[in-house]
Copies of this chain bind each other. A is one copy, B any other.
């Protein structure tokens, strides 16, 4: 971290990693303005490059936003993983994971909206946008928890029942995403505390999974 002018330090006029810098700048703008109506030129300005430089790394503004959403999903996935890393019991892990998920969304509302908004929509060309792959990656964390619960007998689904697990993953994510969205949008009475919501959600979430 000194001021040694090693080979690695010398930025060769067009610095190595603009793509990454642009995504970071866009992430910051989403957080600051709480929407994604900023211009591509503004992103370039923040990154300290000409307004055409982004076109060397992205097809256009939409493409950059998809990359931002993908970065969001990766960050979300890391939070989920971090939340469960020290937890053994599958039901406790699912609860912790859900809590981390909701927390992430509440801390980055606009980013979360972008992630599930236009960034996931099918591209006109046909092939699915990158954000969807990153989203599927986040989904994998849930799948692992479900599988663990199936193996340990904590959840009412067999370790061999792949479709049943897929179902469980699907409905777990549905419940978490649904609660998150409604919390984000303030669609509840004022006396409806966040903590109650999470507790109730956990009950709903586990009801269909735990054996009676």
Query: Which residues of A are in contact with B by a Cβ distance under 8 Å?
Result: 34-37, 62, 109-110, 113, 116-118, 120-122, 128, 132, 135-136, 139, 163, 166-167, 170-171, 173-179, 181-182, 185-189, 191-192, 196-197, 200-201, 203-204, 207-208, 212
Copies in the complex: 2
Say yes or no: A170 contacts B197, CB within 8 Å: yes
A208 contact from B36, B187, B204, Cβ within 8 A = B204
Complex: A132 Cα to B185 Cα, angstroms: 8
Say yes or no: A174 contacts B178, CB within 8 Å: yes
Say yes or no: A121 contacts B110, CB within 8 Å: yes
Complex: A170 Cα to B178 Cα, angstroms: 9
Give the residue name and chain of the B residue nearest to A179 (CB). B174
Chain B residue numbers with a CB within 8 Å of A174 are 175, 178-179, 181-182, 201, 204
9 smallest CB-CB distances across A and B, nearest first, come from A178-B178, A174-B178, A117-B117, A177-B178, A174-B179, A120-B185, A204-B208, A207-B207, A171-B204
Say yes or no: B35 contacts A136, CB within 8 Å: no
Q: How far is the CB of A112 from chain B (nearest CB, A)?
A: 10
Complex: A117 Cα to B30 Cα, angstroms: 14
Q: How far is the CB of A158 from chain B (nearest CB, A)?
A: 16
Say yes or no: A166 contacts B182, CB within 8 Å: no
Chain B residue numbers with a CB within 8 Å of A200 are 167, 170-171
Chain B residue numbers with a CB within 8 Å of A171 are 175, 179, 200-201, 204
